[in-house]
Amino acid sequence: MSVLAAPDSPATCPPVFTPDGIAALARRIREPVHIVSGPDGRELGLATGSVTGVPVLGTLPPLYPEWLGGRTFCAAHGIRFPYVAGEMANGIATTRMVSAMARAEMLGFFGAGGLAYADVERAVRTLADELRSHPNWGVNLIHSPAEPELEFRVAQLLLRCGVPRISASAFMELTPAVVLCSARGLRRDPDGRIVRRTRMLAKVSRPEVAERFLSPAPAALLDRLVREGELTLQEAELAALVPVAEDITVEADSGGHTDNRPLSVLLPGIAALRDTLCRRFGYHHAVGIGAAGGLGTPAAVAAAFALGASYVVVGSVNQTATEAGLSDEAKAMLCEADVADVAMAPAADMFELGVRLQVLSRGTMFAQRAGRLHAAYRTYGSLEEIPAPVRAPIERDVLRAPFDEVWRRTVAFWERRDPAEITRAESDPKHRMALVFRWYLGSSSRWAITGETVRRADYQIWCGPAMGAFNRWAAGTFLAEPAHRSVVQIALNLLEGAALLTRAHQLRTYGVPLPSGALAHTPCALG
Ligand code: FMN
């Protein structure tokens, strides 16, 4: 116990013991605060500056939103805040969003998934041009099991354009593309330390996948890339000494593709695995663990950091940001969502495998309609086999066109994207059925992006429960106004709120009687 004030204390505030006084001082998180006991030695209060007359039990140092996560993560990425705007497919995470994040000293990833190569190339070149002097931006490299060549070409593009950060996602196994991105440019600095040109964050939701990214790349893949002239021998040798990814984003129940697992279950397990593997392989660099999924309120963000996250990743909520590439109508629908207004629905990219993703269910019938298509796909061998009583409502209510017409549109699409799909469908009726049904799934995302009002009830909008939680928090505040809701204001407010709640938690562990809700943060203009 000490009665001395901390030397760096700001203006003195005499000890306070009332709930209001404690709350007011506790909110000053950027200053040190003393926990003091009252004259009778029983009640606890707070004070700042030079304290006289009452014992100081302890002093909490200043607390900044910048410090909530891993300092090594921020240093490694040249950022101030341990906060990432996650990639959102089909360019919903726009170049504008990524630029805004980079300029605000955070990290953002362009949503390259689902886009044609030419669109990805255009976006990457725009970003490379705009953010030439920034190391803190990146692009998603998404696993495309049906289009491995596209995956590899995108990887080569990202490396060619010098994209400084790559977020690798949807990988169950490592592929040549992901290993190439991890290993290309590895070298030793003059002190002998291994340095990377490109830094990869791997998004995972299972420990076995995390293990692949936390281990050095498999020799067979490295050898192959060397033989093909994609890697030098030296790059391959160095790749055998470092993990494939130096940051692992653990994704819990999120919008889009998700295993719907709780963060509190996944993150500590994968963090422990990280520790084991770092010891086993003797890595010299720290590997960061990030948290994604379900982060839409300050409490969720504070909890993610308390679980040990070095950084947090936000997705669903950013779809309502001014910079998001989504129609105003779809954004308005998201703003109406509550926490339970989400559902699992078939995914377009892995429709045949029965993979599902999380979408908004309020105001759109997409989940039910796509579910009907998948049920028909599972039950019948071809479009022709579907009996009239099943076929008629699908054509009338879901596709709003006869199967033949949709097939014509499907052919037009695949002729541009990958004609081999049409050849396959012509000899495989079940595949033809899949392509016709996938036309609906692909179009429904596009309708939501462009704002095809007549198709409002079919909008496919990926969304997790974080959106509803955010809406409850933001209701009636500065962030409720669409024009105020920039991706940076969302981030700064979530972090500010998380810092306040972290202070509340610190004080609670001391036994300070902080009134409930005293450190709640009401969104406002920050920065
Ligand atoms: N993650 C990817 O790795 N690749 C994607 O293409 C991708 N697209 C997404 C599209 C939307 C509309 C949403 C909401 C999420 C998407 N995600 C994608 C996941 C986000 O990057 C992020 O990890 C996730 O949304 C975080 O969880 P939350 O939705 O609960 O905030």
For residue 349, what pLDDT is reported?
Answer: 86
**In this predicted model, what pLDDT tens digit does every residue of 149-181 receive, in sequence order?**
999 999 999 999 999 999 999 999 999 999 999
Q: Which residue is closest in CA terms to ligand 1's atom 24?
A: 315
Q: Domain of 302?
A: 67-326
pLDDT digits (tens, 9 = 90+) for 115-152: 999 999 999 999 999 999 999 999 999 999 888 999 99
The residue assigned the tokens 């084991």 is 276
Whose Cα sits closest to atom 10 in ligand 1? 88
When the pLDDT of each residue in the chain is averaged and rounded to a whole number, the result is 95
Query: Does 172 fall in a domain?
Result: yes
Q: Which of 88, 110, 120 to mutate to test the pocket of ligand 1 (most atoms within 8 A of CB)?
A: 88
Closest CA to 46 of 8, 7, 20: 20
Same domain, 354 and 450: yes
Q: Which of 201, 316, 358 to mutate to test the pocket of ligand 1 (most atoms within 8 A of CB)?
A: 316
Regarding whether 265 and 355 lie in a shared domain, the answer is no
205/227 same-domain check = yes
Q: What CATH code is carried by the domain that includes residue 235?
A: 3.20.20.70
pLDDT at 1: 35
Count CB atoms within 10 A of the CB of residue 429.
15
> How many of the other CB atoms lie within 10 Å of CB of 292?
31
My answer on whether 77 and 221 are in the same domain is yes
Asked if ipTM goes beyond 0.95, one says: yes
Percent with pLDDT over 90 in the chain: 93
pLDDT per residue as tens digits for the range 438-449: 999 999 999 999
Residue 10 has a pLDDT of 58
Alpha carbon 1 to its chain centroid, in Å, reads: 44
pLDDT for position 309: 98
C-alpha to C-alpha distances, 154 to 120, 181, 293, 338, nearest whole angstrom: 8, 10, 26, 37
Closest atom of ligand 1 to CA, residue 167: 3
Residue 363 beta carbon below 6 angstroms from any ligand 1 atom: no
Q: 47-77 pLDDT, tens per residue?
A: 999 888 899 999 999 999 999 997 899 999 9
Q: Which two tokens stand for residue 297?
A: 């309120």
Q: What is the pLDDT of residues 451-489, one digit of tens each?
A: 999 999 999 999 999 999 999 999 999 999 999 999 999
* Mean pLDDT for the stretch of residues 420-424: 95
Same domain, 288 and 318: yes
Same domain for 227 and 197: yes
Instruction: State the Cα–Cα distance between residues 263 and 309, nearest whole angstrom.
Output: 10
Question: What pLDDT band is residue 4 in, cutting at 50, 70 and 90?
Answer: very low
* pLDDT value for 40: 81
293 lines ligand 1 (CB under 6 A): yes
Residue 322 tokens, joined = 């001014």
Last residue in a domain, options 431, 458, 485? 458
CA dist list (Å): 319 to 294, 467, 468 = 14, 9, 13
Number of domains in the chain: 2
* Torsion sign across C-alpha atoms 142, 147, 150, 155: positive
Alpha helices in 9-134 (DSSP H): 19-26, 71-77, 95-103, 117-130
Any ligand 1 atom below 6 A from CB of 88:
yes
Burial class (CB within 10 angstroms; exposed 0-12, middle 13-18, buried 19+) of 258: buried
* pLDDT tens for each residue of 232-257: 999 999 999 999 999 999 999 999 99
Q: State both tokens at 257.
A: 């593709």
468 touches ligand 1 (CB under 6 Å): no
Percent of the chain with pLDDT over 70: 98
